[in-house]
Structure 1
Amino acid sequence: MKKPVIISTDPGIDDAVALAICLFSPAIEVKSIIATNGNVNAQQALINILKLEKFFGKSIPVVKGVERSLVKQSIRAKEIHGKSGMDGYDFPNPSFELVDHGISPVAIHKIVAASSEKVTLIGIAPLTDYALYVRLYPDDIKNIKELIIMGGAMGRGNYGIYSEFNIASDPEAAKIIFESGLKIRVAPLELGAQAKIMPEVSNQIQQLGKAGDMFYDLFKKFRGGSFQTGLKIYDALAAGILLNPQMFKFKKTHVEIDVQTGYTYGASLMDFKNKLDLPNNAEIAVSVDPEIFSKWFVEALSKTR
């Protein structure tokens, strides 16, 4: 039986890759996609998801998430993904027939309540919608198998000194999530540098028909690393944790999100040495085998042909 999954995403070039992997995986059934405010605003994220679904011939209900972070002003990443979030390819105009016009926490709750087995949540964007969901429906937590997150950093950040973009976008939401009691697995920032997509892998992907051409064109515009020295396709790591966890090494720890105004605002403090003497609330993928990841990555995307 396929695992039921909900994905919260803000496409974003690497989000598009992770979505493709999940949509074509024979092991999971994507029940809904939440268009989240992050790399682009929620409306543009909605448009980008619908473009991808039309391109791939998929018909998964898409819910527009909230328009801004819980407390702070929203941030964007157009210097990484381009103004549209998916610059580099001329997608067909989206169809809006798949839009679920409900409120994202309610939409998530309906799916979880109706599911005969526990639902897996994937968060490859700021965690705003999931935070609102667990606040509104705390009793649902027992029906959630796990939440897999791409976000946070074991050391230095890529947005602030110690803050990674997805967590820095809405630290208060991330704090709610890590204190929720959900089972959480995390692909942190550092794994992107461990599992770079090198030019020879991009060339293999280009051979995968229409979808391969599309991803190759997006990769040439992506600024997460460089096309020549290796691209950091972060969000595919979250899909990898769900679909091929054997290629990772994990370590359980307590994660604390700093929400105090200052230089460390948005930092994800991973207490691997148990300095805080607090219970573990997450399992962190501390490393990934790059060769196994590259092979899996090409194989997963080959299913889009």
Structure 2
Amino acid sequence: MKKRPVILSTDPGIDDAVAIALALFSEELEVKLICPIFGNVSLEHTKANTEKLLTLYQKTPRVVLGSSRPLLRETINASEIHGESGMDGYEFPEATIFADESQTAVEAMHEVVNEAEKTTLVGIGPLTDIALFIHLYPQDLAKIDRIVVMGGSLGRGNYGVLSEFNFAADPEAAKIVFNSGIPIQVAPLEVGNQAKIMPKITNRLKSMGEIGEMIYQLFSKYRSGSVDAGLNMYDALAIALIVKPEIFEMVSARVEIETTASLTYGASLIDLNNYLDLPANAEVAVNVEASLFEQWFIDSLAKTAK
């Protein structure tokens, strides 16, 4: 099977750590580049977390540092969910794999995209670097198969009243991405709320070697849901959209991002009923088969123990 080349823009973050593992150990994906970016915690922490994860995973994709701040707005973070470092709760081995700081993530994206016929961009943090890539390298856009994003919400937010964190962290970047004309698939907040990992599955992680134990320990500190009531797996949805699309219900819709400095700054208007009378610019997941997601999730992580 020919593997699909992907670039990950990520801000680990506990659920990012899981999404990175799912991508790296997938038999269908070839992770060509990982670009840590500010988001859940500062770039200093997301860089260190990426290096620690790859050392533990014993995987060596290219790692190039991304943006440390949004295009325009003040920086926000989600350390109250992920802990001060972004991955509190596990004693990682000392990193032996390090990010390349000699060029920008956007330059590296340009190089990687031109190595393959078609590349998929995966945004599971703020979309700043993907927006900059779109802006600086328009000649590369025909070589993008699609952009797969975890972000936005169908209704209420988890950062502002109507804004989801990833889009709220850089609304202007999200707007550039959705206005790019590139095919986009989106897993919004509500679908992440459906995709819970329940205690029976969480407890199986402990028997899956060092990586399973690490994920279990991080989950014990993760404050998006609870081990007992079920943990929300937001970022893993982006990987599932690529390798397990049949478990989702998808709808073509117009997605507009609010960039006016107002109470709704950063909100995503996902127009399921065509109120805006504008052409669709994304395929939006509106439901996921939770039991099938959970089975895929644990079967995929079982590969990390082999």
Return the TM-score normalized by structure 1. Answer: 0.98
Q: Which residue of 2 aligns with 1:184?
A: 184
Q: Which residue of 1 aligns with 2:23?
A: 22
Q: SS of the counterpart of 2:304?
A: coil
Q: Which residue of 1 aligns with 2:102?
A: 101
1:53 aligns with 2:67: no
Which letter maps to 1:226? S
Q: SS of the counterpart of 1:304?
A: helix
Query: Do the aligned partners of 2:52 and 2:97 also contact (CA within 8 Å) in 1?
Result: no
Query: Do the aligned partners of 1:18 and 1:239 also contact (CA within 8 Å) in 2?
Result: yes
Which letter maps to 1:126? P
Give CA-to-partner distance per residue, 1:252-288, whole Å, 9 cap, x none: 0000000011111100001111011101100001000
* Alignment coverage as a number of residue pairs: 304
Percentage identity across paired residues of the two chains = 50
Q: SS of the counterpart of 2:120?
A: strand
**Structure 1: gaps of 5 or more residues:** none
1:110 aligns with 2:111: yes
Query: Do the aligned partners of 1:35 and 1:43 also contact (CA within 8 Å) in 2?
Result: no
Query: Do the aligned partners of 2:55 and 2:97 also contact (CA within 8 Å) in 1?
Result: no
Query: Do the aligned partners of 2:12 and 2:87 also contact (CA within 8 Å) in 1?
Result: yes
Give CA-to-partner distance per residue, 1:84-130, whole Å, 9 cap, x none: 10011001122354525211111100111121x20001000000000
Query: Do the aligned partners of 2:47 and 2:99 also contact (CA within 8 Å) in 1?
Result: no
Shift of 1:185: 0.2
Query: Do the aligned partners of 1:59 and 1:98 also contact (CA within 8 Å) in 2?
Result: no
Q: SS of the counterpart of 2:114?
A: helix
1:170 aligns with 2:156: no
1:87 aligns with 2:88: yes
Superposed CA RMSD: 0.9
Query: Which has the larger displacement, 203-212 or 242-251?
Result: 203-212
Q: Distance in 1 between matches of 2:258 and 2:99?
A: 37
Which letter maps to 2:237? L
Which letter maps to 1:23? L
Q: Which residue of 1 aligns with 2:289?
A: 289
Q: SS of the counterpart of 1:64?
A: coil
Q: Distance in 1 between matches of 2:208 and 2:14?
A: 17
Give CA-to-partner distance per residue, 1:212-238, whole Å, 9 cap, x none: 111110000000111111111100011
Query: Do the aligned partners of 2:54 and 2:97 also contact (CA within 8 Å) in 1?
Result: no
1:5 aligns with 2:6: yes
Q: Distance in 2 between matches of 1:219 and 1:4?
A: 29
Shift of 1:178: 0.2
Q: Distance in 1 between matches of 2:27 and 2:115?
A: 21
Return the TM-score normalized by structure 2. Answer: 0.98
Which letter maps to 1:50? E
Q: Which residue of 2 aligns with 1:141?
A: 141
Q: Distance in 2 between matches of 1:170 and 1:193?
A: 22
Q: SS of the counterpart of 1:85?
A: coil
Q: Distance in 1 between matches of 2:107 and 2:215?
A: 33
Q: Distance in 2 between matches of 1:233 and 1:286?
A: 15
Which letter maps to 1:87? D
Query: Do the aligned partners of 1:43 and 1:64 also contact (CA within 8 Å) in 2?
Result: no
Runs of 4+ in 1 over 3 A off after TM superposition: none
Which letter maps to 1:224? S
Q: Distance in 2 between matches of 1:97 and 1:84?
A: 17
How is 1:1-305 mapped onto 2 (pairs within 5 angstroms)? 1-99=2-100, 101-115=102-116, 117-305=117-305
Give CA-to-partner distance per residue, 1:54-73, whole Å, 9 cap, x none: 00111111111111000011
